A and B are shown apart, each in its own frame.
Chain A
Amino acid sequence: MEQPDDGRAAIWRQALSIGVATGAYGVSFGALSVAAGLSLAQTCTLSLLMFTGGSQFAFAGVIAAGGAGGAAVATAGLLGARNGFYGLQMAPRLQARGAVRLLAAQLTIDESTAVAAAQLAQRPGRDELARLGFWSTGGAVFVLWNLATLAGGMLGSALGDPRRYGLDAAAAAAFLGLLWPRLRTARPRLVAIAAVLAALGLVPRVPAGLPVLGAAVVAVAIGWKDDVRGASPRRPGMLSS
């Protein structure tokens, strides 16, 4: 669609629009995190240093439910594991070393990887456009996500009891919103149902935070068996999760 010499401008526009969209839900994170009991400074630290949306919502969610710190860390970590796969796929394209590599790792998230992957698919052989897509999107999201978190956190601090404003329901809706795009095929749907049953079954029996991790065990059990008929993607792709 774009002329080759317009390719870069289009990538920047995409990066900025993704940054704005992601920033919008950074406001939700900021408010929910503060409502969960984290301080504004801790909330902002999560967006600066953890910088991966699903993990951050999960961390705050486990804390809000009364879970132990270890459970929150484990849940956030497991949700962030897919970024490792993104790194595997970005590393050869970025060829980053030293401090730049650390920065690349920090910016390796769903959005930056997805834009890079799209460039690789649309313009094979033009790695420099994939790199531009990665860095511009990663940078835009980083700046806007963090500003939005600060705004949301300050708003959340001003609000008082989270239940008065339905923020507990808002957090549930946030998890549903993050889950929704992943439920396109049969196996994820099966895993989601099994996870819900496992987690709710464990709640009366184990300390807070552990039911969610128990659900992860269920996922490993269901996912372990190799699939011959193709309900899951053929090869690890950046957009498969």
Chain B
Amino acid sequence: MNHNRTYRFWRSVAQYLLGSIALGMLTFVCFRFDVNPTTVALLYLIFIVLVSLKGSIVTAVLVSIVAYLCLDSFFTKPLFHIAMSETLDVVAPITFLTTSLVITRLMTKVRKSFQEIQALKDHLRLVIDTIPGLVWSALPDGSAEFLNQRWLEYTGLSLAEGLDWGGKVAVHHEDIGRFLSEWKTALVEGKPLETEARLRRADGDYRWLLIRAVPLCDESGKVVKWYGTSTDIEDRKRAEETLRMSQADSAHVARVMTMGELAASIAHEVNQPLSAIVNNGSACLRWLTGNSPNLEEAREAARDIIREGNRAGEVITRIRAFLRKTETEKARLYINQTIRDVVILTRNGAAGKGIALRTELSNDLPAVLGDRVQLQQVILNLVMNGVEAMASMPDSRRELLISSRQDETGQVLVAVRDSGIGLAGQDLEGIFDAFYTTKSQGMGMGLAISRSIVEDHGGRLWAVPNDGPGATFQFTLLKYQEEG
């Protein structure tokens, strides 16, 4: 600090010295060449303007006074005397002082403006570099113009490398075709862009980004600049992928394709023994009531009826086993995390329907022993049912609340509460039956399967109508017991 001050002090001294020398030389030259006083005055004025540009009033006034004194002494009669005898003697000092004051004032203002602008620029830059997003801008032709600090840190590229979008900026090869065509379309049409693509991060991983860009247009509607943000949505994508895969894996969902297919295969499997039973029954009657009754045939027919009846029963049993999940992978599980996974997946879809998803998850829930995929299914099923129950509601409070806590017996209790059409007039137990549905589409297996999963986990699933609108579906799960 002191170093700075000393430097500044000596710099000022040097400036004064230089200025004085310059002024002196100017005066000397003019004197020697006998320059017209008015001309000299103008020359001094120029000198004063130049000095005033530095912005210091004191210096400027000083120089003005010195210049006037020089003018008066050396260039106006009486020479070598300072006296106000001619017009110039009055006009000159006024001019000098006015000029220096005006210019220094102006310069001060200009400097202040510049300082403000710079401060604003710095502030803005700080904001853009700080906000948690990758921010960038591009020219109307699509080439990169600006990349914020986060963008550079994320990709690990230098500014020069980053601006060369065709070069080191690595979009995943599976996404690049689609991304480029969407970007080109946006550039041509001047419409905002929203797309997803994988970008390589500094550590080499490719991560999903949600890329949004909006155009800035001038008065004639021509695009002047593109501003964009890229948000890391890798976690969300992973969650979606996991759930999608688990749904594909989930035996009872994969195999139970459509109600039509299921019905067709049941029909065929069951129709065979039924057909044999009916034929045998009819034959039996005919053999007994015909002109020549044949007891042996009738007996055989009756035996076959019994056998075929059993076969039909086996078919039904096989189908039920087929529908029930046979293998489960139970492990220690914290149900709040499972709930959060489902919320990530469904929040956007629910928001799209104007429904808010809220959670009230107890912090100190014990772990449970459960199959994460299956329990995800159950929660997802209840959430989707709740969303659908509220879809037809007018714009009342559309909120779905998922809560978790420990109940009186120490079991983990998860509740999904909606404010929808409710369960009035429906059998609170019958809704869990297979093939029960109030929807025009769907098999009606959701609640039946959910209940069977919960019961397989040693818990219970039941529904309670709310005091207000809607219903609450709750289920319990057993605590995880450490191996003794």
Chains A and B come from one and the same complex: no
